[in-house]
Amino acid sequence: MPLALTPKCYLAILFAGLICVTGASLARGATAERGESAEAADFATIHDRAAADYMKGELDDALAGFNAAIALNPASALAYYNRGNVYYAKGDYSAAIHDFTEALRISPGLPYANMNRGNALSNLGRLDEALRDLDEAVRLQPEVSDSYFNRAIVHVRRRELEQALADYEAAIGRDAEDQEAASARQRLVDLLGATKEGGLATVDTAKITAEIAHSRQVEHLLRLVANTCIAHGDSLEGLTTLALVGKWKPAPKEELTRRSGTAAQIDGGWTFRDRFGAYALVHSESNHKPPVYVCSLTTQPVSLHLFDDVKAGFEARFGVAPHDTPTWPGQKVTRYQLSNGTGSLFTALAFTPKHGALTFRIYLGNP
């Protein structure tokens, strides 16, 4: 059974694609395809709603929506492409390949369609076909680092390790801030170094691809917490803006009120999904003055192996050592003390084995 890898930036790319075709721009695209009509407007509305459902992680609703959009306009390459993305997210790679193929039949050269079809083919072990698709993705969009990254995974699985390293270098060269590519490249170098005495025949490519996926998840989590709680933990407005841009699902106000207490008010909460799992982001403000702001980011599913690597990565990225390791019932916790220039910034990193959950809890202010 081939290892099912989630391609790098798979959902991020798809989110960008979905965002750029919603609202007025989608309506213009539908008009171009179907002409000025009520049916075209219906298509735009249905497709837009399905896109929003997809971005919230509501895959069954998104699938039903794209089915309805295709029924209204079976000549829409975009609708087939986005339904293929939903099938991919659900793990139905054969159905995804069918829809990406149909999208490319209607609109040859459709951005990202070759790349995503190549990823689906790779997950089914159809590596020669996957490589052809990813070669075409690189040819069509040589500036996109993700195509090189995903092609590197195929090269690893084909035991073409020098080509894999070259593709990671190409991905980094096109996006110097791509920490996932840099981490994956280093992980590959380390694993090859550990097996070089036995030669290529001893290389466990399944282990390499699994470890590369693991290192990408660590980098992704560290970047996510840096961009949310560490950057905006004392700004409800900042987090709200991120939530609106990311189409995160807000928690009902009555739920926030119910969970608030006499010491602090929970004033913001959102849930969302990406290629690595499900998340809950919560923001609260203490009732005393000056206030202490608490921002927490929780994700599932997580293993102890991942928690330990996230700890090591957090310490390396922010240059901190553990402050203490308190005993919290049912949790493994490490706390850190930082300074953000204006006050104290404490971080508690907790793992809850029972639920496979990892939580970053950031305290901003002077508790």
DSSP string, 94-136: HHHHHHHHHHHHHSTT-TTHHHHHHHHHHHTT-HHHHHHHHHH
DSSP H helical ranges for 35-73:
38-55, 59-72
Name the most confidently modeled range: 110-114, 154-158, 251-255, 344-348: 110-114
d(CA 320, CA 317): 8
More confident residue, 193 or 311: 311
Q: Which CATH number describes the domain made up of 10-216?
A: 1.25.40.10
pLDDT in the model for residue 364: 85
More confident residue, 80 or 38: 80
Token output for 146 = 């993700």
Segment 116-127, tens digit of pLDDT: 999 999 999 999
Amino acid at position 212, single letter: I
pLDDT in the model for residue 159: 83
Segment 172-230, tens digit of pLDDT: 777 666 666 666 667 666 666 655 554 544 566 676 767 667 777 888 888 899 889 98
Beta bridge partners of 357: 352
Give CA separation, 126 vs 96, 121, 148, 155, 188, in Å.
14, 5, 18, 12, 22
Which of 8-17, 83-92, 156-165, 251-260 is predicted least confidently? 8-17
Name the most confidently modeled range: 97-101, 221-225, 331-335: 97-101
Residue of 306, 301, 294 lying closest to 362 (CA atoms)? 294
Give CA separation, 213 vs 119, 190, 228, 332, in Å.
14, 15, 22, 24
Segment 288-305, tens digit of pLDDT: 778 889 999 999 888 888
Residue of 81, 193, 210 lying closest to 156 (CA atoms)? 210
pLDDT in the model for residue 306: 85
What is the distance in angstroms between the CA of the first residue and the CA of the last residue of the chain? 52
Sign of dihedral through CA atoms 149, 155, 159, 160? negative
Task: Spell out the domain ranges in the chain.
Answer: 10-216, 217-365
pLDDT in the model for residue 192: 61
